[in-house]
């Protein structure tokens, strides 16, 4: 259930701030933000700030890559990985 609320929070942030809609069909969790033209570099920075603020994480420069941040599902996997790393650190 927790992951669902995180997924919904990320989807809502992207849809409200970049797609300007609340139509759930406007965004698939696997849609590439960059390939679909949803985000540019400034938008990606805003997403990073959102994630850091809302999920209490620090995203390092070398983590700012599409594999981590270019879709809702990529972000969820990245957040899970960050949590796992922080537990073992």
Pick from 56, 75, 52, 55: nearest CA to 65: 75
Specify the higher pLDDT residue, 84 or 48. Answer: 48
The CATH number covering residue 45 comes to 1.10.1200.10
Quote the pLDDT of residue 37: 96
d(CA 37, CA 17): 13
d(CA 34, CA 88): 32
The model carries a pTM of 0.90
Mean pLDDT across the stretch 69-78? 97
Tokens of 83: 């949590």
What is the distance, to the nearest Å, from the Cα of residue 71 to the centroid of all Cα atoms in its chain?
6
The CA radius of gyration of the chain, in Å to the nearest whole number, is 13
Q: Which domain holds residue 23?
A: 2-88
Count of domains in the chain? 1
């Amino acid at each position: 259930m927790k992951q669902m609320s995180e997924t919904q929070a990320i989807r809502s942030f992207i849809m409200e701030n970049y797609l300007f809609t609340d139509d759930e069909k406007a965004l698939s969790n696997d849609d590439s933000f960059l390939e679909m033209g949803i985000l540019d570099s400034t938008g990606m920075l805003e997403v990073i700030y959102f994630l850091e603020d809302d999920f209490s994480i620090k995203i390092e420069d070398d983590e700012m890559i599409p594999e981590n941040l270019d879709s809702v599902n990529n972000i969820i996997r990245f957040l899970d990985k960050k949590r796992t790393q922080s537990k073992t650190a």
